[in-house]
Structure 1
Amino acid sequence: MNYKDIEEFLSNLKSVMSCKIIDDNKGSIQEIHILADSSRNVKQICRDIQSVLISRYQIDVDYKKISIAQVNDSFAFNGDYRLKINSLHLENKPNTVTVKVVLQFDEALYEATESGLKTDRNLMRLSSRATLKAVEKALGFDDCLLLEDIESKIFANKEMVNCAVNFMYGGKEIVLCGNSFVEHSKSEAAVKATLCAINRRVAKHSSVN
């Protein structure tokens, strides 16, 4: 079944900015990923989605299949959803390196890799880009996060990694900034700086009840 029309209709609901439906081989809905603003409670958004699906499309979907990523319009920290580093692995070759980042939220793991030339600055970029890919997998959306810039510098006599990330949603572009002191490696600090930017801005609510 083609769910394109349903995705477009749900994207026009109040507070909803975009929608992605994932089905199985039989065409049954397995997951509904929603990107929404913070103007309404996630339970209200979830009920609206269920009501539209049953009344307009005669599709009854369990609320547990609805995952809502909510963009916080203020920069206040939201502790409901924090992705954490599960593991970071580097596969070195003479001139190139592959970075594998695994993020964790509760028991769920989200993995992504990036490969490129093995330079000091590019290693930070690869680590950050792999992190953003993993974050997109966690949110259930593609091509909404882009690394704008990343650098290391000395701050308070310690080395720090700063990054800027472009977050695209609802036709809007928001620049998110994060930083992390280098404790073990610049690669690890790049991942932490990227998560610092994302975790302050995006809250995800799964299995709303």
Structure 2
Amino acid sequence: MAGAERLLCSLAGIVSARVVTDRDGQIAEIHVLATDALHPKQVVRNVESALRAGLGLEVDRRIVSVAQVRAADAAFPSPAPEPAPAGPARTPPPGRLGFADFDARCDAMQGATCRVVLRAGDRQFEGTGEGPGTTQGRVEAAARAVLAALAEARAGLPVGLEGATIVEAHGRTYVLVAARGLQGRRSVRLAGAAPLSRSPEEAAILAALQATNRWVDLPHARGAEP
């Protein structure tokens, strides 16, 4: 599906696109990294229209996930920041889950593991995740750890990981995380993106939180605390 990806990347506002096919060669997932110049729903409509007009492909809009970055960040590569000095993690607003800490291990034979600590006020919640012993596996392990911590913080929270991947766009590297939540009887596609500047795990954690935090705070997310 390289042709479809090239077509999507030519659309206004789209920085990068990844098309995933099933065993039959049919499009199963489309992950798009876009600037904030257009509303995500408009990006999805543009994707549908481009594939229909350019390649004669009909896709269900529900398989398209959109993660957004600021237009300035996507257009102008910037050097990776220096590592932040050691110190206590910044406390998020009361009730809002924020990133507190993580530790990770990766071995080519035993695979990658990651433990993530999230904080809400003075409470902490931990989650662990695993993946293959590769850079991609490190990203997946960290994203799974975030969702596990969310499940601990919000008992019964109906959200699961659909995928986590690394993409290159305009000289920069990003981590994209796609998840799916449950709103009543309807599933909701969630997506987040973060620049990979220091470690795959940190970028995946921030992308996973971007994908889920606003949705988790909404009253329709089952298990959300009042």
Q: Which band: TM-score by shorter chain?
A: 0.5 to 0.7
- RMSD (Å), alpha carbons: 2.3
- What are structure 1's unaligned runs of at least 5 residues? 1-78
Q: What is residue 125 of structure 1 aligned with on the other side?
A: 140
Residue 175 to residue 87, structure 1, CA distance change in 2 (3 Å): same
Q: Which has the larger radius of gyration?
A: 1
Report the CA distance between 1:115 and its aligned residue. 2.6
Q: What is residue 160 of structure 1 aligned with on the other side?
A: 174
The secondary structure found in structure 2 opposite 1:91 is strand
Q: Distance in 1 between matches of 2:168 and 2:108?
A: 29
1:112 equivalent in alignment to 2:159: no
Which of 118, 124, 130 is matched with 1:103 structurally? 118
Q: Give the TM-score of the pair, scaled to structure 1.
A: 0.56
Which of 160, 179, 196 is matched with 2:210 structurally? 196
Report the CA distance between 1:97 and its aligned residue. 2.4
One-letter code aligned to 1:198: T
The secondary structure found in structure 1 opposite 2:156 is coil
Report the CA distance between 1:180 and its aligned residue. 0.4
The secondary structure found in structure 2 opposite 1:136 is helix
Tell me, yes or no, if the aligned pair for 1:80 and 1:204 is still in contact at 8 Å: no
Report the CA distance between 1:203 and its aligned residue. 1.3
Tell me, yes or no, if the aligned pair for 1:81 and 1:204 is still in contact at 8 Å: no
Same amino acid, percent of matched pairs? 25
Q: What is residue 87 of structure 1 aligned with on the other side?
A: 101
1:140 equivalent in alignment to 2:155: yes
- What are structure 2's unaligned runs of at least 5 residues? 1-92
Residue 179 to residue 116, structure 1, CA distance change in 2 (3 Å): closer
Tell me, yes or no, if the aligned pair for 1:99 and 1:130 is still in contact at 8 Å: yes
Q: Distance in 1 between matches of 2:106 and 2:126?
A: 18
Report the CA distance between 1:110 and its aligned residue. 0.5
Q: Distance in 2 between matches of 1:154 and 1:196?
A: 19
Report the CA distance between 1:117 and its aligned residue. 2.4
Tell me, yes or no, if the aligned pair for 1:150 and 1:161 is still in contact at 8 Å: yes
Tell me, yes or no, if the aligned pair for 1:97 and 1:115 is still in contact at 8 Å: yes
One-letter code aligned to 1:202: V
One-letter code aligned to 1:85: F
Tell me, yes or no, if the aligned pair for 1:80 and 1:203 is still in contact at 8 Å: no
Answer with 92-101 or 155-164: which moved more. 92-101
1:172 equivalent in alignment to 2:186: yes
Report the CA distance between 1:207 and its aligned residue. 8.2
One-letter code aligned to 2:121: D
Per-residue Cα deviation, 1:28-66 (whole angstroms, up to 9, x for no partner): xxxxxxxxxxxxxxxxxxxxxxxxxxxxxxxxxxxxxxx
Q: What is residue 198 of structure 2 aligned with on the other side?
A: 184
Q: Distance in 1 between matches of 2:171 and 2:218?
A: 36
Greater strand content? 1
Tell me, yes or no, if the aligned pair for 1:81 and 1:199 is still in contact at 8 Å: no
Tell me, yes or no, if the aligned pair for 2:129 and 2:143 is still in contact at 8 Å: no
Q: Distance in 2 between matches of 1:148 and 1:207?
A: 24
Per-residue Cα deviation, 1:159-200 (whole angstroms, up to 9, x for no partner): 111111000232210001100001211111011000001112
Q: Distance in 2 between matches of 1:158 and 1:93?
A: 26
Q: Distance in 1 between matches of 2:225 and 2:207?
A: 28
Q: Give the TM-score of the pair, scaled to structure 2.
A: 0.52
One-letter code aligned to 2:152: K
